[in-house]
Amino acid sequence: MTEQPILQIEKLDFAIGGHTILKDINCCFATGGIHGLIGPNGSGKSTLLRNICRIWEPQSGRVLIDGRDYRRFPRKTLSQMVTLVQQDTRLDFSIPVSDFVAMGRHPHLKRLQWLHQRDRDIIDEALRVTGTEIFRNRLINELSGGEAQLVSLARALATEAPIILLDEPTSALDILHKIEIMELLTGLRNAGKTIVISIHDLDLARRYCDTVTLLQEGRVYYHGMAEDGFAEQRIKEVFHVGVDEISTEHGVSLLFYR
């Protein structure tokens, strides 16, 4: 018997100001996988992530978490189940990194409730897993882009949410920090987290994602295993470039050409 996906999206439509951004989105994501959302600029990747965590709500269709419509969950409960790491993690206000990561515990606290020792232990573990303990006393707005991205992921881990959404977490990073982020996500996947990530870097998506959902003009063009998602005809039709796969001892890489 096939295990029920932790996250299912059924016939989802979303529009803003009469402009349709997502149309008839159908896809599902298994527990313990890295699931990539790929597609050209404006194809709806970020919008889909915001619909999944209910920042925005679809005009029609459903988002199911563990088989239940997410509208049935109180907002606080939903925040314990799914968390989003935004694309722009640079912040203008000055608070210590430890306090920023502690914000991830808010969905678990009652109004005006202080952090307990268990909350502090979870915060410490989130900092440890992401390798950001050394930043705990630094101000969040003094961090580099790569450091801020890791700290934002630490805050997401502090929620203990089983589903982590990331919107272009590698877009502004150098290659070392890109690989660090993707290796960290691989470790979280192996620990049972479900990762849904919008990503422009198709080479990273091919190397690290278990499945890919290819969006084109707000519709699902392909949804399935990553090794089949980068077929030359698909890439040509959606991105208007050719692609060759190159196998090395470090995995598969993609070569794009016009």
State pLDDT tens for residues 33-49. Answer: 999 999 999 999 999 99
pLDDT beyond 60 at 1: no
Q: For the segment 206-257, what is each residue's pLDDT rounded down to a tens digit?
A: 999 999 999 999 999 999 999 999 999 999 999 999 999 898 888 888 999 9
pTM: 0.94
Q: Which domain holds residue 239?
A: 7-257
> For residue 222, is it within any domain?
yes
Which residue is listed with tokens 């881990």?
157
- Asked whether residue 1 is assigned to any structural domain, the reply reads no
pLDDT above 70 coverage of the chain, percent: 97
Q: Is 96 inside any structural domain?
A: yes
Q: Is residue 208 part of a domain?
A: yes
Place of tokens 């049972």: 192
Cβ(31)–Cβ(66) under 8 Å? no
For 114-131, give the DSSP string.
PP-HHHHHHHHHHHHHTT
CB 223 within 8 Å of CB 27: yes
Residue 92: CATH number of its domain: 3.40.50.300
pLDDT above 80 (res 91): no
Q: What are phi and psi of 220, to 5 degrees?
A: -80, 115
pLDDT tens digit string along 114-147? 899 999 999 999 999 999 999 999 999 999 888 8
Whether 175 maps to a domain, the answer reads: yes
Number of domains in the chain: 1
Average pLDDT, the chain: 93
What 3-state DSSP class applies to 193?
A: coil
Q: Please check whether residue 107 is in contact with residue 186, taking contact to mean a CB–CB distance below 8 angstroms.
A: no
Q: Please report the pLDDT score of residue 242 as a whole number.
A: 92
Per-residue pLDDT tens digits for 183-219: 999 999 999 999 999 999 999 999 999 999 999 999 9
